[in-house]
Structure 1
Amino acid sequence: MALRSNPTLRQRRLGAELRRMRERAGLGGSQLARALGINPAHVTQMESGKTGISVERLRTIAALCMCVNEPLIEALAEIITDRDKGGWWEEHRGTVSDDFLEVAEMEGHAHGLSTYTMAFIPGLLQTNAYTSAVFDRSLTPLPRHEVGLRTAFRMRRQDVVRSGATPYSAYIHEAALRMQFSGPKIQAEQLRSLIEDSERSTISIRVVLFDVDALPLNYENFTYVEGPIPDLDTVQADSSVGNVLFDAPAHIARFRSMLSRLDSAALPEDDSREFIRSIKKDMESKYA
């Protein structure tokens, strides 16, 4: 079987879980290879996602590693059997960056999504004009066609929450509600759209006010992605060099704690809607 040159996010996650399974059992890669009757390099390739495995081999590895977490084994088996079903984002491979594709892949397989943003409205809730304005103000100026490609891709991503298929909770800092990327009119239209989205039964929008006591968080913007089981949750955070992905148990526990803090600090949904409405009116007064 030819090695994958560019394994997908889910293929890499499967490999990472196989490595964790082996390490929890105290087995080295060479030890597992001998037990399986394969070359040690093959174990490395499986654990990096560069080569696939069958469900039967997954169960053999689980038995050798004394893994009795049946929900995890079943969830990994689902990743294996689903490997040939490419999502809509695959149509854009080669036209947008791998970071964009990985975010869409995570969202497309998510069982629930939660975001926190401090500088801008969450991408899954942005209007076309707002998104275009954000990309248009990139630190390194983008050509117009690139702005258009990125904007269209982000609009397509929104289907996952606008369709109601995936429950979505957005914690938005007051700073993001007031930050203008292209004047008060576009911001007011964005806030109007946000109010409409807040009335959807599968979307929860809650505001974190400026006057909330210190809320120390490790990242200004992050997305918590719920997997089919908690063991397969993932977090994506923004950084100056692109996406940062977290799936280690300790990291996931830390981000769950952050979400708990946000849940305690943010305004209730109804109060958040009214607060957004008040800022919208203020923006409208600036161009009326």
Structure 2
Amino acid sequence: MPPKPVASARRLRLAVELRKMRERAGMTATEAARTLGVSQGQLSNIESARFGVSPDRLRAMARAYTCSDQAFVEALVDIATDKTRGWWETFREVLPPMLLNIAELEHHATMLWSANTAHIPGLLQITDHAREIFRQVVPEFSRSDIEHRVSHRLQRQALLDKGDSIPFRAIIHEAALRVPVGGPSVAKRQVEHLVAQSEREHITIQVIPFAIGAYPGAGQNILYAYGPVPQLDTVTLDQSHGPVLVDAEAQLAMYRVLLDRMEQVALEPSKSRDFIHNLVHDL
């Protein structure tokens, strides 16, 4: 028998939210299973994403757990009934699952907000810049691995080109703008690309210049994905061993404050565009 596919982060999030809903109601798994008329094993399988859950069962669980937030419940129903087989599935055999999870997360987000101190945000990288970034990974990627990752990154960017594109806000430190990734020619084209992207209505780019000095969140690369309701927001953190997803309520609140503080010290969008445009002559 072939192994069962690993549940995506989105499906795992549904399972986690249902367990948290039960726990907030002060019910044990045994009590909840009895109330719902299912076995404890069935409930355990739902709460661990081994089993799916129907809309009727999910709404029954919300009633049993006295959850009156209908927007939240219906957002969970949308996850439970979503049969989308996104473009990222074509990379299932060649890329780590977390990269697919990020693409799925972005696909379902209502807004994206990133903050980068060392790199240009992946959604704004040109091909040659992205390829050079992947060439520097330790341990080294094979040539085919690099091309798979570049292709995946470029397809992620398509969500910014749709007719109903979601808002994307990016805070970029001057250091990331000045590093000549791929050499002067690539660096210049990358900066020119940022200027062009900043002129699009749904994309906002703000720069934190060196002159600001120390600021909250320095050294971090953050992607905050807004869900259909605040409880389903998710943060992606870039780590040397790979991306990490964060969705605990207290952590989400902290990252919202952090991004707000970074936005406050950054140049406003029009001044940021001028700042980036002027960098073209320095590269």
Q: Give TM class, smaller chain.
A: over 0.9
| 1:9-20 alignment runs, 5 A limit | 9-20=9-20
Q: Which residue of 1 aligns with 2:167?
A: 167
What SS does the corresponding residue of 1:186 show, helix, strand or coil? helix
The answer to whether the 8 Å contact 1:19/1:47 transfers is yes
Task: Please provide the CA RMSD for this pair.
Answer: 1.6
Separation in 2, partners of 1:123, 1:102: 15
Q: Which residue of 1 aligns with 2:67?
A: 67
What SS does the corresponding residue of 2:281 show, helix, strand or coil? helix
TM-score by length of structure 2 reads: 0.95
The answer to whether the 8 Å contact 2:117/2:219 transfers is no
Q: Which residue of 2 aligns with 1:229?
A: 229
Q: Which residue of 1 aligns with 2:135?
A: 136
Cα deviation, residue 77, structure 1 = 1.0
**Residue by residue, what CA displacement relative to the aligned partner does 1:227-263 show, whole Å, maximum 9, x if unpaired?**
1111111111111221211111111111110111022
| 1:71-220 alignment runs, 5 A limit | 71-82=71-82, 84-163=83-162, 165-217=165-217, 220=220
**Residue by residue, what CA displacement relative to the aligned partner does 1:33-83 show, whole Å, maximum 9, x if unpaired?**
12122222322221121110111111111111111011101111111221x
What SS does the corresponding residue of 1:158 show, helix, strand or coil? helix
The answer to whether the 8 Å contact 1:112/1:226 transfers is yes
Relative to 1, partners in 2 of residues 1:234 and 1:115: Cα closer, same or farther, differing over 3 Å? same
The answer to whether the 8 Å contact 1:10/1:79 transfers is yes
Cα deviation, residue 139, structure 1 = 1.9
The answer to whether the 8 Å contact 1:112/1:225 transfers is yes
2:259 aligned with 1:248? no
Q: Which residue of 1 aligns with 2:34?
A: 34
TM-score by length of structure 1 reads: 0.94
The alignment of Structure 1 onto Structure 2 pairs a total of residues equal to 281
The range that moved more, 204-213 or 116-125, is: 204-213
Gaps of 5+ in 1: 284-288
2:275 aligned with 1:275? yes
The answer to whether the 8 Å contact 1:3/1:51 transfers is no
The answer to whether the 8 Å contact 2:198/2:204 transfers is yes
Separation in 1, partners of 2:218, 2:53: 36
What SS does the corresponding residue of 1:223 show, helix, strand or coil? strand
Q: Which residue of 2 aligns with 1:286?
A: none
